[in-house]
Structure formats: structure tokens, C-alpha cells
Structure 1
């Protein structure tokens, strides 16, 4: 992970102004003791949470939240692909990483039954080619909100 990314994100959240009382915007702290008890969790996610930590930005746009994967005995699925859910936005959408190729998707309004998300024509959107691409898009969205009040849809 790139420390510059976390610094840019913290700077942008500190610049943001709000016309209402806000909750605390939080980046980190790092979780260096993050357990690898789930060997199927990709190394890029483990590294992110060990070096940066969870992210809670409830008042930036509609909200952005990145959290370590919860301990489960197997990955979730999106149709036929194994995925890891690692974040959400303030609208209830889920951010997931495809285990096979690293793509980051936003899942919106999908049925979830017994660990499987069932896609539809509008409920799945690619929001990053990989975790680094997603994080770069996220920091740009937070900077746009801090500088101009623009809400960017990830």
C-alpha cells in the first residue's frame, strides 16, 4: 500500500466542510495483528488493513466505509464467482473484491441467500480494476467532495 494514499485521504477529510453537525471521519488505525485465519482473503486486502486500517467516512458524500473481512469459514459468492465483501457506502451498497482476478465491484440491491449474491442487469458495477485502482478512485472522490462539495458515485 502507498502511505501517500492515506495521507491524501486524511488531508481531504480534514478540509471538508459541512452545513450540519458531523460524525467523526476516521482513517485507521492500522490493524497490524489482522489474523490470516481465513487463508482465502487476498493479500492486498490484508496489507491494506494492516497498513491503513478501517475507514469510516459517514459524512463524505453518502458515506464510505471499508472494514476488514469478517471471520467466516468460506468466501461469499456473486453468482459463480468467489468474492470478499470489504466495504459499503451510505446507501447500503457493498464493495467486493473478486478473488479470481482482483476486480472491485459495487453490488446494489442484490438478493443475498446463504452466502450468494444473485446479480441482475443494474445491480453490479465495476468500480476498480484492482484494489489500488479502487482506492485511487476513492481518494479522488473524497478530494472532490472536500474541495467542491461534489458527491462522486463509486
Structure 2
């Protein structure tokens, strides 16, 4: 993406680029893959999402980039892109955090985090309290090991964008 700093405007541009790539892919999806695609979207935050984002903002844990994200984007649902990519809604992130507590990420400077995304194979993406994003090596968080995939949320989101564009153009997703 261009040099726009991470903000609501950056997220709007990010959403547009993914939406354009997905629209291109969906136009020939059934012909290419032999079945009708489901819903693939980057959903703009609605009132319920904004309320959850405000609740998130009151939490003691987390970081500003994630709050900025949830004030603009409700969720990302891309089941037809590769194995599927999903950035969970603020509601879902908060619910999981309340029910299961923080995720232990021993590889992080601050080893506490929260699940913010997943893929269709059950791999989880955890944001540590410092803002870095880590990918679980397995579909289970029991004794999970993680690999850092991005230093911050904007880098992670840009990587998702590049994977979506690559998949729309070539059918290859990369290693997200």
C-alpha cells in the first residue's frame, strides 16, 4: 500500500483493495473451482461493532492499532481465499478473552496476547500486548508454539492484502 499512515483512511483503502481483488476472483470463482462461492467480505463496522470497540478501548489490555481497526472494520470473512482468512470481530475477540483468558505466547516480549484472527485450517493469529502478531504452528492452543508473522497490526493487515491480491491473480496464497 502507499505511504499513508495507519488510520481510518488507511483501513478504508486497505478494504477497497481487498474488495476489488475479491470481486475479480469471485467473478470467475465457480468456473475455476467448480462450486459457488460463499460470502467474502471486509465488513465495515456497524453500531454493534462500534459499541464492542468502545468496550475494547476500556479494557486494560491491547494496543491502539487494534482499537483503530475495530472502529473501522467489523470483521474480515474470506473463506474462499486459499484456506480461508478471518479477522474476528471485536465482540468475538472480547468474548474469547473473557471466556478463556489471554493466550500465552512465550516467544513474545510480553507473553500475553489475544486471538484476533484465524484461517480455515484452524491456525490462530494472536496479537501480543506489544502489538506484534504471532501465528500458531498448530490448530490447538494447548502447549502452542508460535512464529512471529508481523511486528504490528498494519504490517499483518498489509500481508493479508498481498495474499488476497496474489490469490485473486494467481491462485497462490503465500504462507499466511
Q: TM-score range by the shorter chain?
A: 0.7 to 0.9
Whether 1:63 aligns to 2:90 is no
Unaligned ranges ≥5, structure 1: none
**Taking structure 1 as reference, are residues 141 and 44 closer, same or farther at Cα in structure 2, changes over 3 Å only?**
same
Structure 2 partner of 1:128: 150
Tell me, yes or no, if the aligned pair for 1:98 and 1:104 is still in contact at 8 Å: yes
Structure 1 match to 2:4:
none
Counterparts of residues 5-154 of structure 1 (less than 5 Å)? 5-16=14-25, 17-18=28-29, 19=33, 20-30=35-45, 31-34=49-52, 35-36=55-56, 37-67=58-88, 68=90, 69-71=93-95, 72-73=97-98, 74-79=101-106, 81-99=111-129, 101-109=130-138, 112-113=141-142, 117-119=143-145, 124-154=146-176
Q: How many residues align?
A: 146
Structure 2: segments with no counterpart, 5+ residues: 1-6
- TM-score, reference length from structure 1: 0.85
CA contact (8 A) 1:58 1:90 kept: yes
8 Å CA contact 2:117, 2:126 repeated in 1? yes
TM-score of the aligned structures, taking structure 2 as reference length: 0.75
| More relative contact order, 1 or 2 (CA 8 Å, 6+ apart) | 1
Between Structure 1 and Structure 2, the one with more helix by share is 2
Alignment root-mean-square deviation, CA:
1.9
